[in-house]
Structure 1
Amino acid sequence: MTLTDRINQAARRLPAWPIYIVGVLLPVWLFWQAASGALGVDPIKALEDRLGLWGLKLIVAGLCVTPLRRFAGVNLIKYRRSLGLLAFLYIVLHFLTWLLLDLGLRWEQALGDIIKRPYITVGMVGLLAMVPLALTSNDRAVRWLGSARWQKLQKLAYLVALSGGVHFLWLVKAWPVEPFLYLGAILGLLAVRMIPKRFRLAA
């Protein structure tokens, strides 16, 4: 039995619901750390950053599912919905932390920042693009939209990923290596989707 077979066998046995439990516990842990002072001298900023980064990690993980199945034969498609919904949860919490805890629900300042600050504008584009994806991430929505229209709607995930990568890059003033790695990974994962389907790296 190959490594791919073992991974697929394990995936068939492991349901998706534990991912939701672990995924929900992490923000709870982060909020507890912020409240207890474990996130440093600026816990709100640290909380905001960590929620956003974990959301981006889950977005990248979701993008990996299709290339893994196509080129390596690893089928993790059953987990893509949970990864996407948890990514949406984290990004919403990232936004709410900024709006409620950082800005104190000052809507005028928030709207001004969204318009004037490009990295916030791009981030909002990504968040808004996630809303229809989250609302249609169920079997009933697939039946209502039809498979073809639902598949077209899923392409919004590419906009979400690009917006998240650019948002992270513009957010970090010193431009260290990490944001470039995330954006590079996103561009690479999107690029492999352009390879004709007849080309595969694995049988």
Structure 2
Amino acid sequence: MPVVDHLNTTLRKLPSWVLYAVGAVYPAWLLYQGLIGGLGVDPVKVLEHEMGERALQLLILGLAVTPLRRFTGLNLMKFRRAIGVLTFFYVLLHLLVWLVLDVQILSQVWADILKRPYITIGMVGFVILLPLALTSNNWSIRKLGPKWRTLHKGAYVAAVLGGVHYVMVAKGFQLEPLIYLAFIVGLLAVRAIGSGRSLLRKSVHG
């Protein structure tokens, strides 16, 4: 596929820091828009929603890296770590906007975590992503060895929790959150089938 080959050639020349830079500029631009009144009458809610939705999109992109390479030949492996780090960064910003700009009262934050299931699910997802972000470096990969890959499979659980969180946050029936959740479940199913086939081939040829 000439188009995919051309894209892969271009991506190989693109340094990972470009992705980090774009990921850092977008929240700053949104904050600026909020300060000048460009985010409507409730800029805090817009910021909260944007950070959460972009985090979910990045989670989905991270899950899609392997299937994209397998089925289309598009190779984003070089950027997988950057995608994961930016995912956590956006989840953290989503959480901070809710904590600092929305709720603001610490006792109310704790009460909401305990009483509102969608917030509970979101917090569990954040806790799962925290050690993944802290170990997204070469030193941790060397130190943990095979355990590193096992630990980072927690991203699959976090992705499902993120999708469920978005569905529960939406008021009434909304198609968009369901589409996100369907993508997550579908990508995990594709990965599971691919892993199963790999294990089967190894057992047959082993």
Match of 2:135 in 1: 136
- Measured after TM superposition, the shift of residue 15 of structure 1 is 1.4
The counterpart of 1:182, out of the listed 180, 183, 201, is 180
Match of 2:161 in 1: 163
Larger helix proportion, structure 1 or 2?
A: 2
- Measured after TM superposition, the shift of residue 34 of structure 1 is 1.2
Whole-Å separation in 2 of the counterparts to 1:101 and 1:2: 48
Match of 1:110 in 2: 109
Whole-Å separation in 1 of the counterparts to 2:161 and 2:9: 35
Whole-Å separation in 2 of the counterparts to 1:110 and 1:175: 26
Whole-Å separation in 2 of the counterparts to 1:24 and 1:52: 15
Stretches of structure 1 that go unaligned for 5 or more consecutive residues are: none
Alignment map for 1:1-203 (pairs within 5 Å): 2-104=2-104, 106-146=105-145, 148-195=146-193, 196-197=197-198
- Measured after TM superposition, the shift of residue 176 of structure 1 is 1.0
Letter in 1 for 2:129: M
* TM value normalised by structure 1: 0.93
- Measured after TM superposition, the shift of residue 7 of structure 1 is 2.2
Letter in 2 for 1:25: V
Whole-Å separation in 2 of the counterparts to 1:14 and 1:31: 27
Whole-Å separation in 2 of the counterparts to 1:82 and 1:194: 23
- Measured after TM superposition, the shift of residue 92 of structure 1 is 0.5
- Measured after TM superposition, the shift of residue 175 of structure 1 is 2.5
What secondary structure, in the 3-state scheme, does the structure 1 residue paired with 2:40 have?
coil
RMSD: 1.4
- Measured after TM superposition, the shift of residue 33 of structure 1 is 1.1
Q: Cα deviation per residue 1:51-93 (whole Å; 9 max; x = unaligned)?
A: 1111111111111101112222222111011111111111101
Stretches of structure 2 that go unaligned for 5 or more consecutive residues are: 202-206
The share of aligned pairs that are identical, in percent, is 50
Match of 2:204 in 1: none
Letter in 1 for 2:12: R
Letter in 1 for 2:132: L
Q: Tell me how many residue pairs correspond in the alignment.
A: 197
Letter in 2 for 1:154: H
Whole-Å separation in 2 of the counterparts to 1:78 and 1:162: 24
Letter in 1 for 2:42: D
Letter in 2 for 1:194: A
Q: Cα deviation per residue 1:120-155 (whole Å; 9 max; x = unaligned)?
A: 011001111110110110111000001x11110110
Extract structure 1 runs of 4+ deviating beyond 3 A. none
